[in-house]
């Protein structure tokens, strides 16, 4: 579902959750979102196995940020969730909210998080939970200078790879090239019985290199 030209409202999302009690999959692309609408999903959509929420960059002001209480209530209510994707905007979730995701995602195996954390500390708090997690992708967080704090996230057979902040060459409307700094990092973590892969592209740093003192 997409909130295009205000077709899907917060009230409509609540009506959907209340009226579709057997819903197993829901992907929502919205320009605005509230904690109350997420709470409704957690209250009524008990059979959800796969949930995706993307907050679009269409409105300057979002009605009800941060979404930590709504995310908590959704996860507490949707106990069958196996796949969970939450792509927000800066300020969409606090340290507390990221901790809720770790605490209330006991069966989630695949997770995508975007713009939900601002530091290694947040990720470490999150990593104390999610016991069933097999693959994690985090897009858009600001790591520490070295990111070696992420070593505390290590689990048996758990590989962690980082794509550091980088410079992007872009061309403006009149064709003049320029360099734009992308200050965010991408983290990918996954289980593998065969151990870390060795075919890393230059843009990827595996966690074991961080352990030897490599800098981002």
Q: What is the pLDDT of residues 144-167, one digit of tens each?
A: 555 555 666 667 777 877 777 665
The answer to the question of residue 144 being in a domain is yes
Q: Are 45 and 68 in contact (CB under 8 A)?
A: no
The answer to the question of residue 215 being in a domain is no
The answer to the question of residue 216 being in a domain is no
Q: What is the pLDDT of residues 44-81, one digit of tens each?
A: 999 999 999 988 877 667 778 888 999 999 999 999 99
The answer to the question of residue 4 being in a domain is no
Q: What is the pLDDT of residues 15-42, one digit of tens each?
A: 888 888 899 999 988 888 899 999 999 9
Domain carrying residue 68 = 10-207
User: Which CATH number do you get for residue 62?
Assistant: 3.80.10.10
Q: Check residue 47 and give its pLDDT.
A: 94
The answer to the question of residue 141 being in a domain is yes
Q: Per the structure, how many domains does the chain have?
A: 1
- Using 50, 70 and 90 to split pLDDT, how confident is the model at 7? very low
User: Is a pLDDT exceeding 90 seen at residue 89?
Assistant: no
pTM of the model: 0.78
* Mean pLDDT score of the chain: 77
- Stretch among 47-51, 82-86, 122-126, 168-172 having the lowest mean pLDDT: 168-172
- Stretch among 60-74, 157-171, 186-200, 202-216 having the lowest mean pLDDT: 202-216
Compute the average pLDDT of residues 105-123. 80
The answer to the question of residue 2 being in a domain is no
């Amino acid at each position: 579902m997409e909130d295009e030209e205000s077709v899907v409202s917060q009230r409509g999302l609540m009506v959907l959750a209340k009226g579709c009690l057997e819903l197993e999959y829901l992907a929502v692309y919205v320009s605005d979102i509230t904690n109350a609408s997420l709470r409704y999903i957690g209250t009524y959509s008990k059979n959800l196995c796969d949930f995706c929420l993307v907050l679009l960059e269409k409105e300057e002001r979002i009605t009800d940020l941060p979404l930590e209480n709504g995310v908590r209530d959704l996860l507490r209510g949707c106990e069958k969730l196996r796949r969970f994707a939450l792509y927000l905007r800066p300020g969409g979730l606090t340290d507390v909210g990221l901790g809720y995701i770790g605490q209330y995602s006991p069966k989630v195996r695949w997770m995508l998080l975007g713009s939900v954390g601002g530091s290694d500390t947040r990720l470490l708090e999150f990593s104390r939970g999610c016991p069933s997690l097999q693959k994690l992708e985090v897009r858009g967080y600001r790591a520490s200078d070295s990111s070696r704090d992420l070593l505390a996230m290590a689990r048996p057979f758990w590989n962690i790879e980082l794509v550091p902040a980088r410079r992007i060459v872009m061309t403006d409307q009149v064709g003049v090239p320029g360099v734009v700094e992308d200050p965010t990092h991408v983290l990918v973590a996954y289980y593998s019985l065969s151990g870390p892969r060795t075919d890393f592209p230059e843009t990827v740093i595996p966690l074991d290199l961080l352990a030897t003192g490599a800098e981002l």
